[in-house]
Structure 1
Amino acid sequence: MRIRSVVLGLLLGSLSMLAFGQKAITIKLSHVVAADTPKGKASDFFAKRAAELTKGQVKVDVYPNSQLYKDKEEMEALQIGAVQMLAPSLAKFGPLGVREFEVFDFPFIFDDTADLHRVTQGPVGASLLGKLDAKGVKGLAFWDNGFKSFSANTPLRSAVDFKGKKFRIQSSKVLEEQIRTLGGTPQVMAFSEVYQALRTGVVDGTENPISNLYSQQMHEVQKHLSISNHGYLGYAVIVNKKFWDRLPGDIRGQLEQAMKEATTYANKIAQEENDLSLEAVRKSGKTTVYVLSKEERMALKKAMAPVHNKMADRVGKDLLEAIYKETGFNANAP
């Protein structure tokens, strides 16, 4: 009976593979940042491990730097099957119709990586990924990029410094409210367009993890960088659900293992890459780096606290409370 079960399993696996043809299964993984960022390196790591674990049955082709699609295009490309896998920033899921993901855009909701991982690696994170199924998307993992800091051509040390300035943001109602609360003007634009917009003065400033700022040479057109760590920028690795469900079970399992390893790798290097990038920005001599004091950061946190109340209904008060419980968030605490 055991031999018969093994033979039957092999036969079913072979039949499943026929659905994809005799050639290797190709997965196109598209993303919008540089290859030498945490997301870029993690994507390449996943491609390598996928090939190794499947013994060449799966080939992951990685397309960085918006080679295939820009921010606004890539989600639709995934849904229609033009690409099979993406790792979009979490702000991209609000426009998709899953507003709950915009909770990650709330200012100062995570004090550190430990707070963050209690959410992304726990039941709250799993529940959020599960909400993507209804959109034809399968959520596989959360990848860290890092905490964001503000940059501009004038110093940004207190809330009053933001008034009247135009800031590039991702497409997120929460981020729009964040900039408005500080007295600035939010402007949504594709990541690939930000450098030119900063260079020509279309926008005055932006918010980014330092690895993104440096890899896109934004520091060359931004005279001031304030290390605020006010918000989190991470990614959800997602795959076209129909494509994923059609994969043979053994292949799916091997890819899940590759993704698990890639996630550990991504989260490990995220802080390292941001630290190295910050050092490089300082050495460039083109940008003045200012680290907010504890008192200045607390004042900025208080100034941005109204965003939580204003946007609670958008993401769901129950979700917000669940995250507060995990992180111990208190708008009035340092």
Structure 2
Amino acid sequence: MKKWLLLTIISAFALVLAACGGGSGAKSSEDYTKENPLVIKFSHVTAIDSVKGKSADYFAQLVDEKTDGRVKVEVYPSSQLYGDADELDALMSGNVHMIAPSVTKMVKLDPRWQYVDMPFLFQDAEHVQAFFDSEVAQSLFKADALASNDIMGKAFWPNGFKNFSSNKNPLVKPEDFAGQKFRAQAGKVLEAQFKALNAGSATISFGETYAALQQGTVDGTENPHNNFDTMKFYEVQKYYSTSAHGRLDYAIFVNKSFWEKMPEDLGKLVDEALAEATTYAQGLAADENAKSLEKIKSAGSVEVYEMSQAERDVLKEAMQPVYDEFADVITKELIDGIEALKK
């Protein structure tokens, strides 16, 4: 009798746990209010007034409006929580729930993410957008390397085409790069890019790049107009060339476990907000980069050289060894898929 009673109590307790989410800690949307919201920690490394910074803040605003304050996105810009080297690990461990890294930061999980560093792979902004909207891009999000590390890819946010800058001399012809050292993001493709130009590279976190340029640790760097502007690199660089040789784009990644435990109705609203913020980011990038180029020109401290397509073609030919070395790493399928989207 005692045994039967004990089993009955255990069974009843199990049913209660199941009704409450099986003890998993899952909550319903009713558990979240303005006073006790679901908090999403969103960490990124760029300035508040950058394309990424403005888009992240817009996303937070949309989430607040759509959920009536029941979900709060806490945005931490300018490496306030984590820098370039740490934010991916922070996401995987759940210390933050959302990041927007330069896509090349994902190379430690999947080398194909270095596609943006392949010289002159993208023709123009329309070509980039066609890629973002394609199944080719989605295939990167669907890779096992993300899911197995508790990561989910959600969206692409553009920044812009990268341009070379230097403190030594204008950078137009391949020989202009010889002997100089450039700050670059981590990655073998970028190392090969500068090697093809007889230059060196150093991996330095984005937040420390200004000081590295100021102190002469490196001679130059590569950035979209907006990053060069908002990080005030024009204060510590003398020459800037509109080479448009590579891309610096971001992708939104979230902690998979956290995202999937979000109450379904709130998750749907958050995803709607992210879709709208993505459209906003895509329009903002072009406008902000155009404004930033004019600001760089008007600063008076930098000599801006606007390169012709013929001059870019000469640089592209000099960087052909990068394709010879890394076509198999990035994969022919991905490179050909991107090439096929050109109009």
The two structures have a TM-score, normalised by structure 2, of 0.89
Note closer, same or farther for the CA distance 1:320–1:17 as it changes in structure 2 (3 Å cut): same
**Equivalent in the alignment of 2:305:** 290
1:140 counterpart = 2:175? no
How does 1:211-290 map onto structure 2 within 5 Å?
211-290=226-305
Note closer, same or farther for the CA distance 1:160–1:246 as it changes in structure 2 (3 Å cut): same
1:227: Cα distance to partner?
0.5
Distance of 1:289 and 1:208 partners within structure 2 = 14
Structure exhibiting the larger radius of gyration computed from Cα positions: 2
Supply the AA of the counterpart residue of 1:166: K
What does the per-residue CA deviation read over 1:290-317, in whole Å, with 9 as the maximum and x for residues that have no partner?
Answer: 0012221111111112212211121222
Supply the AA of the counterpart residue of 2:150: G
**Equivalent in the alignment of 2:316:** 301
Distance of 2:122 and 2:74 partners within structure 1 = 34
How does 1:31-70 map onto structure 2 within 5 Å?
31-70=44-83
Supply the AA of the counterpart residue of 1:191: F
What does the per-residue CA deviation read over 1:95-146, in whole Å, with 9 as the maximum and x for residues that have no partner?
Answer: 2x11111112111000111111221111011111122222211111000001
Distance of 2:240 and 2:120 partners within structure 1 = 18
Supply the AA of the counterpart residue of 1:202: T
Q: Secondary structure of 1:26's partner?
A: strand
- Alignment partner for residue 165 of structure 1, among 180, 201, 209? 180
1:108 counterpart = 2:120? yes
How does 1:204-215 map onto structure 2 within 5 Å?
204-215=219-230
Supply the AA of the counterpart residue of 1:233: L
**Equivalent in the alignment of 2:106:** 93
Distance of 1:304 and 1:278 partners within structure 2 = 25
**Equivalent in the alignment of 1:331:** none
**Equivalent in the alignment of 2:132:** 120
Q: Percent identical across equivalent pairs?
A: 43
Distance of 1:136 and 1:184 partners within structure 2 = 38
What does the per-residue CA deviation read over 1:168-223, in whole Å, with 9 as the maximum and x for residues that have no partner?
Answer: 10112111111111111011110001000001110000000011011111111100
1:178 counterpart = 2:193? yes
Supply the AA of the counterpart residue of 1:271: A
Distance of 2:219 and 2:30 partners within structure 1 = 54
Unmatched tracts of structure 1, length 5 or more: 1-10, 329-334
The two structures have a TM-score, normalised by structure 1, of 0.91
Distance of 2:252 and 2:36 partners within structure 1 = 25
**Equivalent in the alignment of 2:16:** none
Distance of 2:229 and 2:75 partners within structure 1 = 21
Greater CA drift, 309-318 or 241-250 = 309-318
Question: What is the aligned-residue RMSD (CA, Å)?
Answer: 1.8
**Equivalent in the alignment of 2:91:** 78
Distance of 1:43 and 1:284 partners within structure 2 = 27
**Equivalent in the alignment of 2:214:** 199
> How many residue pairs align between the two structures?
316
Greater CA drift, 173-182 or 237-246 = 173-182
Q: Secondary structure of 1:66's partner?
A: coil
Distance of 1:37 and 1:269 partners within structure 2 = 10
Distance of 1:287 and 1:71 partners within structure 2 = 27
What does the per-residue CA deviation read over 1:78-105, in whole Å, with 9 as the maximum and x for residues that have no partner?
Answer: 111111100000110002x111111121
Asked if the contact 2:122/2:246 (under 8 Å) is kept, the reply is: yes
Q: Secondary structure of 2:28's partner?
A: helix
Distance of 2:122 and 2:289 partners within structure 1 = 17
**Equivalent in the alignment of 2:4:** none
Unmatched tracts of structure 2, length 5 or more: 1-19
Distance of 2:339 and 2:230 partners within structure 1 = 33
1:39: Cα distance to partner?
0.4
Q: Secondary structure of 1:264's partner?
A: helix
What does the per-residue CA deviation read over 1:12-33, in whole Å, with 9 as the maximum and x for residues that have no partner?
Answer: 9x95347879821001111100
Distance of 1:249 and 1:46 partners within structure 2 = 19
Greater CA drift, 200-209 or 295-304 = 295-304
Distance of 1:275 and 1:209 partners within structure 2 = 10
